[in-house]
Amino acid sequence: MTTKQLSIQRYLPEQGSAPYWQDFDIPFDDSTSILDALNYVKEELDGSLSYRWSCRMAICGSCGVMVNNTPKLGCKSFLREYEGPVKIAPLAHFPVEKDLIIDMEPFLDHLAAVQPYLINDSGLINGSGESEETFKQTPEQMEKYKQFAGCINCGLCYSACPQFGLNPEFLGPAALTLAHRYNLDSRDQGKKQRMPQMNREEGVWSCTFVGFCSEVCPKNVDPAAAVNQGKVESAKDMLIGIFKG
Amino acid sequence: MRKSTSDNIKRSDEPIWWGLFSAGGVCFAVFVPAAILFIALLIPAGIMAPEALSFERAESMIFSLPGLIFIGVVVCLPLFHAAHRIRHGLHDLKLGKEQLNKIVTYGSAALLSALALVGFVIGIM
Amino acid sequence: MAKQTSYFPELKRDWWLKHPYFKKYMAREATVLPLVFFLVCLLAGLFSLLQGAQGWQGWLQFMQNPLVIALNLLAFMASLFHAWTFFQLFPRVMPLRAGGRTVPPHLMVLGQWLGVLVVMVLAAWILMGGL
């Protein structure tokens, strides 16, 4: 079995402040994913390595890492795709807590800010929070937002976004995409509540359409398109505001 | 933690600049290539006859309504497109201060656009 | 936000040199630099026109300077590169719908290039004495 050299960025806060690189030789074949390689390191070579993972099938979104400076899901990229040594680092633009584990809190805050859930008070049984009937939606209505509904909150797009790297206050690709996704949903009535967040300097307007977020998205959501459609919405919102006075 | 339902969130003025940037971007992509090709390459290089831009022709072409449209589409809007990209480029390179960069870049675009319009007005008088 | 024990590297101003994708992005942003040169040339032309036939002749000669031609050639290539990137973004920012279906992006890109071609033919026709 051939082996490949893996360089992993280690950071052990309890043993000193500076991160360092550690090399491992990993036996691999065509089916060895980056996550398999990390598991091999932990089980066979160095049990002190810390990283997140769960489902192994690009659904849970927890195994994101930088592979050769590009954000990837560990379970969805394979050693066979890389020539030469492979450099693995924690997702960029986030605080690193230990080894490959990042602090997702800034991302989750930004998600919460755009209220990414159906907002619709019609048809509720007196304050019970329960609806009398389920919301109906035609396939055509669903088609409008379906593209943007595939997000698994893995955070790769934030690591791909230099604008988020330059300004951590920027709401960022996934949050703005979800805002747009719910704004496009025929069952939703929350657009008015979300627009102020999108209209901010740190809303859609911090984006310069670098487009790398859409390149790295493991679910092909195309967040760059959503954010920039959000700019059109925000511009319309401004015009409407001017005419209404 | 950020409050998600605050009424006094400040709206960005970016739609104005983004609108000018987009309009200028279309002009830069659709009209500017032809303008550069003929005015700055084929005629100066002698590939096309220089009579195409003789003094009399140039004068009658530019100091007219189509000339004014030309100035708007090939000069003014692309200037604002360029100003927008330079401003964000400065931010990308962590140069200058946001507010000052804005004033200098859009201010220059506005100044040069005004200059072009003044030139046009002098020409038609 | 970041806890005391966490490590948070700051993004340095040379971030865009670290990945080929970001270099391409910066090249796209930089297309406006030679554009500004061409626009200043045009402005100079406008004002030389106001100074009579002699001033105009001087500007035509300035435009023949090999360095000026080289910079304008760069501006020409930059405008085409800009067009190439811009036309691809357009269908994503404003997806057009016709007859209940989204117009295929490649058709929109093609249509925009057709526009560039039409403008070039029109410009040639005008300059060759069509008007």
* Structural domain of B74: 19-124
Instruction: Give tens-digit pLDDT for A60-82.
Output: 999 999 999 999 999 999 999 99
Q: Return the axis-axis angle of helices C52-64 and C32-50, rounded to nearest 10°.
A: 150
Amino acid residing at C41: C
Output the pLDDT for position C2: 44
Distances (CA, A) of C1 to A155, A169, C54: 16, 11, 67
Q: Report the alpha-carbon distance of residue A84 to residue C42 in Å, rounded.
A: 51
Give partners of A (≥3 CB pairs < 8 A). B, C
C5/A103 touch (CB, cutoff 8 Å), yes or no: no
Partner residue opposite B11 with nearest CB, options A112, A166, A199: A199
The answer for A 157-216 residues in CB contact with C (under 8 A) is: 162, 165-166, 208-212, 215
- pLDDT of B27 above 90: yes
Share of chain A above pLDDT 90, in %: 88
Output the pLDDT for position A126: 63
Closest residue of B to A112, CA-based? Answer: B4
A212/C89 touch (CB, cutoff 8 Å), yes or no: no
Structure-token pair, residue C122: 């029109």
Output the pLDDT for position C4: 57
Give the largest CA-CA distance in chain A.
71
Output the pLDDT for position C8: 92
Q: Report the alpha-carbon distance of residue A36 to residue A80 in Å, rounded.
A: 12
Instruction: Give tens-digit pLDDT for C93-123.
Output: 998 888 777 889 999 999 999 999 999 999 9
Closest residue of C to A216, CA-based? Answer: C21
B10/A197 touch (CB, cutoff 8 Å), yes or no: no
Q: Could you tell me which residues come within 8 angstroms of residue A119 by beta carbon, excluding any fewer than 6 positions away? A: A182, A188, A189, A190, A193
Output the pLDDT for position A133: 72
Which sign, positive or negative, has the C-alpha torsion A55, A59, A62, A63? positive
Q: Which range among A15-24, A152-161, B29-38, B103-112 shows the weakest confidence by mean pLDDT?
A: A15-24
The answer for C 2-61 residues in CB contact with A (under 8 A) is: 2-3, 5-9, 11, 15-16, 18-19, 21-22, 25, 29
| Inter-residue contact A175 to A116 (CB < 8 Å) | yes
Between residues A136 and A173, the one the model is more confident about: A173
Q: Indicate left, alpha or beta for A10 from its phi (over 0: left) and psi (-120 to 50: alpha).
A: beta
Give CATH 1.20.1300.10 domain extents, chain C. Answer: 13-84
Mean predicted lDDT score pLDDT of chain B: 94
Amino acid residing at B17: W
Structure-token pair, residue C98: 């016709």
- pLDDT of B1 above 50: no
Which chain C residues are Cβ-neighbours of A225 within 8 angstroms?
92-93, 95
Share of chain A above pLDDT 70, in %: 96
Counted domains in chain B: 1
Partner residue opposite A109 with nearest CB, options B2, B14, B19: B2
Output the pLDDT for position C128: 85
| Inter-residue contact B101 to B90 (CB < 8 Å) | yes
- pLDDT of A58 above 50: yes
Q: Which of B52, B30, B29 is nearest to B39 (CA)?
A: B52
The CATH number of A105-244 is which of 1.10.10.10, 3.20.20.80, 1.10.1060.10, 1.10.3720.10? 1.10.1060.10
Which chain C residues are Cβ-neighbours of A166 within 8 angstroms?
11
| Inter-residue contact A86 to A4 (CB < 8 Å) | yes
pLDDT band at B16 (very low <50, low <70, confident <90, very high): very high
Question: What number of CA atoms fall less than 13 Å from residue C90's CA on the CB side?
Answer: 25
**Domain-embedded: residue B13:** no
| Inter-residue contact B90 to B96 (CB < 8 Å) | yes
- Per-residue tens of pLDDT for chain C, all 131 residues: 444 578 998 999 999 999 999 999 999 999 999 999 999 999 999 999 999 999 999 999 999 999 999 999 999 999 999 999 999 999 999 988 887 778 899 999 999 999 999 999 999 999 987 65
- pLDDT of A130 above 80: no
pLDDT band at A196 (very low <50, low <70, confident <90, very high): very high
Residue with tokens 């008007």: C131
Q: Report the alpha-carbon distance of residue A213 to residue C106 in Å, rounded.
A: 21
Instruction: Give tens-digit pLDDT for A82-117.
Output: 999 999 999 999 999 999 999 999 999 999 999 999
Give CATH 1.10.1060.10 domain extents, chain A. Answer: 105-244
| Inter-residue contact C105 to A244 (CB < 8 Å) | no
Q: Report the alpha-carbon distance of residue B89 to residue B99 in Å, rounded.
A: 14
Strand partners, A101: A98
**Domain-embedded: residue B52:** yes
Output the pLDDT for position A129: 66
The answer for C 54-83 residues in CB contact with A (under 8 A) is: none
Taking the Cβ of residue C70 and every Cβ of chain B, the question of whether any pair is shorter than 8 Å is answered with no
Closest Cα of chain B to A80: distance in Å?
34
Q: What is the pTM of this model?
A: 0.93
In the CATH scheme, what architecture does the domain C13-84 have?
Answer: Up-down Bundle (1.20)
- pLDDT of A180 above 80: yes
**Domain-embedded: residue B2:** no
Mean pLDDT value of segment A175-203: 97
DSSP secondary structure letters along A3-30: EEEEEEEE--GGG-S--EEEEEEEE--T
Residue with tokens 């036309």: C87
- pLDDT of A245 above 80: no
Mean pLDDT value of segment A199-223: 98
Q: Report the alpha-carbon distance of residue B78 to residue C22 in Å, rounded.
A: 23
Interface ipTM: 0.93
Q: Report the alpha-carbon distance of residue C107 to residue C84 in Å, rounded.
A: 14
Closest Cα of chain B to A103: distance in Å?
15
Q: Which of C12, C24, B2 is nearest to A93 (CA)?
A: C12
Mean pLDDT value of segment A165-169: 97
CATH of domain A3-102: 3.10.20.30
CATH number at residue B64: 1.20.1300.10
Instruction: Give tens-digit pLDDT for B63-90.
Output: 999 999 999 999 999 999 999 999 999 9
Which chain C residues are Cβ-neighbours of B78 within 8 angstroms?
35, 39
- pLDDT of B4 above 60: no
Q: Which of B26, B24, B22, B12 is nearest to B109 (CA)?
A: B24
